[in-house]
A and B are shown apart, each in its own frame.
Chain A
Amino acid sequence: MSTQLSADVVEGFGEGEPPAEPEPTKELAGRSPTQIALARLRQDKVAVVCSVILLVMVVLAILAPVINSALGIYADLDSPDAPRPNEVLEFDGFPAIGPPLHGFTWDHPIGLAPGTGYDNLALLLLGLRTSLIVAALATIISTLVGVTLGLVAGYARGWVDSALSFFIDFFLSFPFILGALALAPIVTTRFGGNTETLKRAELITVVGVLVVFGWMGIARLIRGQVLSLREREFVQAARVIGVPTRSILFKELLPNLVAPIVVSVSLSLPGYVAAEAGLSFLGIGLTETPSLGRTINRAVPYNEPYPLYLWVPVVTVMVLVIALNLVGDSVRDAFDPKTRR
């Protein structure tokens, strides 16, 4: 049970609310730190706006296939109704309908991709979906791994701690890009025998690479917190009365770590989005599924003749990352009892 004296509760009283009409039936229940944080978040305009944007993006991403079939736009040639490239492109690959050479058309609001004739809006929605799935998976798995290892390292001390700390430092010193460049092709050529298994292999590889190079941050953070928490009286009391270690870890310590975990999650999500886009841009990420990074890679030579094709996915990635970062910042501020609003 957490007895962390919350300064907020004290502050809350001291905020000088005018002693208005007494509300006799209102229960004077203490608010938990999480509830306080959420309340502060609700007041933060930036956080609210960014959350709305994120919500919209998540909904669009989840509904991407539905939207695509509703609008009749296609991101590949799998469906027999999808237009073939020679039906919608001119002799040199530029779209025969819509930008850049012809006017705006409602059939393809942000135009067609040159060379393949796929609809850019379909690619955008599916790419958003890919980015969010990869980032979410990577975040969840790396958080689980990092928190567990951090908890164990912080609580155990002794040689377990030394070993795990060395482990963490070792991985921290590995250059991410070089590691990804080396690992990704090896894994995919080993496991990607045909295109079906390749899709899955690539997804696992990308998530795997991101996790392998991303779990260390939260692990160190949690380890640091645990190191200080384990000396507190409630933990010592629990040990004295013989509570098993597992219970101490997950029932006593973990709830106190909610704040750093939430903050870390909300800040690592945008990092993973950008990393996945970067990997796909370099050609070592996903090649079978639509991805914003892939689209950007294809669009770079067209930045002069067909700028819309390049800038839409770039701006999308930017907005997604900025929104996630701002929400993450606000969450961190909200959870930190020392910041005054």
Chain B
Amino acid sequence: MRLHKPIIAVTVVGAFVLAACGGSDSDNGDGPESNVDTDNLANTGRAQDPTREGPVTIEGATEGGTVKVISYAGLNTMDPTEAYYQNTTSILTGLVTRSLTQYVYDADQNSMVLVPDLATDLGTPNDDFTEWTFTLREGIKYEDGTPVKPEDFAFSAARSFDRTQFPEGPAFSNDYFVGGDTYGGPYTDPKGTFEAVEIDGNTLTYKMATPFPDMPYWGSFAALGPIPLGAKSDPEKYALHPLATGPYMFGDYTPEKSLTLVRNPEWDPDTDPGRTAYPDEYVMDFQVAQAKIDQLLLADSGDAQNTLTYDDVQASNYRKFQDTGRVITGGFPLTSYWGPDYRKITDIRIRQALAWVYPYKDVDLAGGYIAGVTSVPATGLLPPGTAGRVEFNPIPDHEPQTTDTAVAKQLLEDAGELGYEIKFPYAKDDENSVAVKDAIVASLKEAGFTPNPVPTTVADLSTLRADPNADLNVRSAGWIADWPSGASWFPPLIQSTNLDAEGLGSNYSVFSEPEVDARIKEILGLPVDEQAAAWGELDETVMTEYLPLFPIRYGGVAQAYGSKINGHFIDNTIGMPTWKNIWVTQ
């Protein structure tokens, strides 16, 4: 899943706040308190409840009020087929568009549970997971009163194949559905035949080209929700006003500036096992400066009392927010990592040396992270709680988040590469990025590397990083699992990509080993109860044998809200507020 700010993707974010229960092993001052469960950071949505039914009521909640949302970043695109950022995905699926399945917040577990949405259960697979059957609920209508038909689901599935019309959208249909690599979608390939969905009355059958045990998770994406055929869903119009099946619909929308969501009169709470609609409307303002967001929420006067944000509080204000008690922390399945270019840095000892030399704690401090809150020590690629995760250390004797330049130097000498040049990009117009660069350079020098950071600007950073021919040999990236299984980690991150056709994709370490590619294909075909363990094993093998990348931290969030906002918990599948639980004190 792509993160919603370009700077996040470089792991130097203004303020990520993650609190670990006693996770920080630095003895500087008091550790933060928070309710992030570091042992189960990715224990997200593993829980499933196929029998959940609506309506949902929250004890003590009052109807009415306006929720104001402020954020620094804008919304990339709100077309359900193309929305793939944290903020767009979460707002659409939480408030506006319904899909086959959805996540709901479980207060006891402080985690998310997968429950049905417009389907009556979580789908029935065939034996080898190449067919999934869903029965749809009856009587669902769009915001304009037209009924939702099974053909609308087939249309949205077809739409989700179109990588030309929706280049930034999630591509899981292409990866798994029948015709994924041949059919180009209704706009790019109008004459092509779409065979992946069969309709029989109110029942849909999705057909897969390769086994896809995680289909219910893909079914929670807005891309697989109902979209009406014809001119109504013309992509240019639809991105500005997708038709709502959820409790709220689009009011005014100025892309990148503001969005107003008003009540959708056609939403029937009895048909919805997850959502509530206590507030009257949501008024969202974007491109608000980070400092301003913090000050507004700290002051908590007037409108700010029913305001919330899904941005992290800045490190400089975290203590003050803790004192007010109006900050919520939580984990989410993000791993930030450094990916040495596998084509250029071929000796595993050099990659291991990099893992020893990287100044984890210094980078966290310089980058504005808060140890234990937005930064949790990391070992393998899979964050804790991912199904099948094995707790291991890919680098023997290396304590997570420790730096030992002497060991790194020794490794370099053993490899005969003292003075090895390291070229990594940084944004010279972002003070945090410069400070992180300085910390890394100091550490690399100490260990005998020759650091040559490549200056660029915030605007150009992701372009430079995505260029396979750029003069770099290390790239840093962050990846959030789309759902809690290894299938959401390994294929995007370490499967070979066709560099000429599609560039790096998300494989920023440019890792390519045919053996590993074959193993990944194999695991995708295993029976579902064996997959989790197989992914865990793959994590251990790949990291120990090849070390294509090394994780810098697991992620977490800290979000603030005003005193009249209730129900702002953290959706730990994506690190956003639990929209479905929010209500305003009257």
With A84-B362, A89-B365, A92-B32 already in contact, the answer to whether A116 and B435 are too (CB < 8 A) is: yes
Question: Within the complex, which residue of A78, A192, A198, A305 is in contact with B442, where a contact is CB–CB below 8 Å?
Answer: A78
Interface contact A85-B361, CB-CB below 8 Å: yes
Q: Tell which of A86, A294, A297, A305 touches B362, judged by Cβ atoms closer than 8 Å.
A: A86
- Also in contact, A91 and B31, with CB within 8 A (given A188-B428, A287-B428, A302-B316): yes
Tell whether A300 is near chain B: CB-to-CB under 8 Å: yes
B372 within 8 A of A: yes
Task: Say if the beta carbon of A255 comes within 8 Å of chain B.
Answer: no
Is there an interface contact between B438 and A93, defined as CB atoms closer than 8 Å? Answer: no
Q: A78: nearest residue on chain B (CB-CB)?
A: B442
A93 lies within 8 A of B315 (CB): yes
Interface size on A, residues (CB 8 A): 41
Residues of A within 8 A of B454 (CB): 193-194
A288 to B457, CA, bound (A): 14
**A77-B438 contact in complex given A84-B359, A91-B29, A93-B365, C-beta closer than 8 Å:** yes
Task: Using CB atoms, name the residue of chain A closest to B451.
Answer: A195
CA distance A93 to B456 in the complex (A): 25
The verdict on A284 contacting chain B, using a C-beta distance below 8 Å, is: yes
**In the bound complex, CA of A283 to CA of B70 (Å):** 25
How near does chain A come to B324, taking the closest CB pair, in angstroms? 13
Interface magnitude class on chain B: 35 or more
Determine whether B455 belongs to the interface, using a CB cutoff of 8 Å to chain A. Answer: yes
CB distance from A80 to the nearest CB of B (A): 7
Chain A residues whose CB sits within 8 angstroms of the CB of B521 once the complex forms: none
Q: Is the CB of B32 within 8 A of A91?
A: yes
- Complex Cα distance, B429 from A78, in Å, reads 21
Which A residues touch B441, using CB under 8 A?
77, 195
- The CA-CA distance from A93 to B14 in the complex, in Å, is 12
Contact, CB under 8 Å: B439 / A305: no
Nearest B residue to A97 by beta-carbon distance? B28
A301 to B455, CA, bound (A): 25
Contacts of A297 in B (CB 8 A): 431
Judge if A127 is at the interface, Cβ distance under 8 Å: no
Residues of B within 8 A of A53 (CB): none
Assess whether A115 is in contact with B370, with CB atoms less than 8 Å apart.
no
Say yes or no: B365 contacts A116, CB within 8 Å: yes
Give A96 to B30 CA distance when docked, in angstroms.
11
With a 10 A CB-CB cut-off, give which of B294, B362, B367, B453 has the most chain A CB atoms. Answer: B362
Contact digits for B463-489, partner A, Cβ 8 Å, 1 yes 0 no: 000000000000000000000000000
B86 at the interface (CB under 8 A from A): no
A328 / chain B contacts, CB cutoff of 8 Å = none
Contact string against A for B residues 434-454, beta-carbon threshold 8 Å, 1 for contact and 0 otherwise: 110011011000100000111
B523 proximal to A (CB < 8 A): no
A114 touches B316 (CB 8 A): yes
- The answer to whether the Cβ of B90 comes within 8 Å of any Cβ in the partner chain is no
Interface centre among B366, B372, B441 (most CB of A within 10 A): B366
Q: Does A185 contact B (CB under 8 A)?
A: yes
B329-369: which residues lie under 8 A (CB-CB) from chain A?
359, 361-362, 365-368
Interchain CA distance A189-B463 in the complex, whole Å:
14
- B291, CB-defined interface residue at 8 Å: yes
Chain A residues whose C-beta falls within 8 Å of the C-beta of B430 in the assembled complex: 283
- Cα A177 to Cα B161 in complex, Å, equals 47
Total A-B Cβ pairs within 8 A: 119
Cβ contacts under 8 Å, A40 to chain B = none
Q: Is B320 an interface residue (CB 8 A)?
A: yes
Which among A96, A115, A198, A287 is the interface contact of B29 at CB below 8 angstroms?
A: A96
For residue B424, give the distance in angstroms from its CB to the closest CB of chain A: 11
Interface assignment of B314: CB less than 8 Å from any CB of chain A: yes
Q: Is A306 at the interface (CB under 8 A from chain B)?
A: yes
| Complex: A114 Cα to B366 Cα, angstroms | 8
User: Is the beta-carbon distance between A298 and B315 smaller than 8 angstroms?
Assistant: no
In the complex, are the beta carbons of B26 and A91 less than 8 A apart?
Answer: yes
Per the bound structure, the CA–CA distance linking A288 and B438 in Å amounts to: 10
Q: Would you give the shortest CB distance from A85 to chain B, in whole angstroms? A: 4
CB <8 Å contact, B316 and A189: no
Cα–Cα, bound, A84→B443 (Å)? 9
Of residues 259 through 281 on chain A, the ones whose CB sits less than 8 Å from some CB of chain B are none
Find the A residue at minimum CB distance from B370.
A92
A206–B132 Cα gap in the complex (Å)?
Answer: 63
Q: In the docked arrangement, what's the CA distance between A294 and B29, Å?
A: 28
Q: Are B371 and A92 in contact (CB under 8 A)?
A: yes
> B320 contacts which chain A residues (CB < 8 A)?
304-305
A117 interface hit (Cβ, 8 Å): yes
Q: Does A11 contact B (CB under 8 A)?
A: no
Cβ-based interface call for B319 (8 A)? yes
Find B439's partner among A77, A91, A96 (CB 8 Å cutoff): A77
Q: Please encode chain B, from 24 to 39, with 1 for each CB lying within 8 Å of some chain A CB and 0 for all others.
A: 1010111110000000
Q: Convert B371-392 into 0s and 1s, putting 1 for each residue whose CB lies closer than 8 angstroms to a CB of A.
A: 1110000000000000000000
Q: Answer whether residue A76 sits at the interface, using C-beta atoms and an 8 A cutoff.
A: yes
Among B373, B434, B442, the residue within 8 A (CB) of A84 is B442
Complex: how many Å from CA A96 to CA B442?
21
The answer to whether B319 touches A92 (Cβ under 8 A) is yes
Residues of B within 8 A of A305 (CB): 316-317, 319-320
Taking a contact as CB atoms closer than 8 A, the residue among B31, B365, B373 that contacts A85 in the complex is B365
Asked if residues A92 and B315 are in contact (CB atoms below 8 Å), the reply is yes
| Bound CA–CA A192/B456 (angstroms) | 9
Query: What is the CA–CA distance of A283 and B429 in the complex, to the nearest angstrom?
Result: 5
Would you call B432 an interface residue if the criterion is a C-beta within 8 Å of the partner chain's C-beta atoms?
A: yes
Q: Which residue of B lies closest to A192 (CB)?
A: B455
Q: What distance in Å separates the Cβ of B111 from its nearest Cβ neighbour in chain A?
A: 25
The 13 listed contacts between A and B (C-beta, < 8 Å) are A78-B442, A84-B362, A85-B361, A91-B30, A92-B315, A94-B29, A114-B316, A116-B365, A189-B460, A198-B428, A283-B430, A301-B316, A305-B319
Q: A91-B371, A189-B455, A283-B430 are in contact. List 4 more A-B contacts (CB 8 A).
A: A188-B455, A192-B428, A300-B291, A305-B316
- 4 nearest A-B pairs in the assembled complex, by CB-CB distance: A77-B442, A90-B29, A86-B361, A91-B371
